[in-house]
Amino acid sequence: MSRHKFRIGQLVEYNPGPLGVAVSARHYKVLRLLPAEGGDLLYGIKSISEAFERVAKERDLVRQQQ
Does residue 1 lie in a domain region? no
Taking the C-alpha atoms of residue 17 and residue 58, their distance in angstroms, rounded to an integer, is 13
Tens of pLDDT, residues 28-58 = 999 999 999 999 999 999 998 889 999 999 9
- pLDDT bin (cut points 50, 70, 90) of residue 19 is low
Please tell me the pTM assigned to this model.
0.84
- 20 occurs within a structural domain: yes
Q: pLDDT tier at 1 (50, 70, 90 boundaries)?
A: low
Is 44 part of any domain? yes
Strands (E) located in 1-66: 11-14, 27-37, 40-46, 54-57, 61-63
Q: How many domains would you assign to the chain?
A: 1
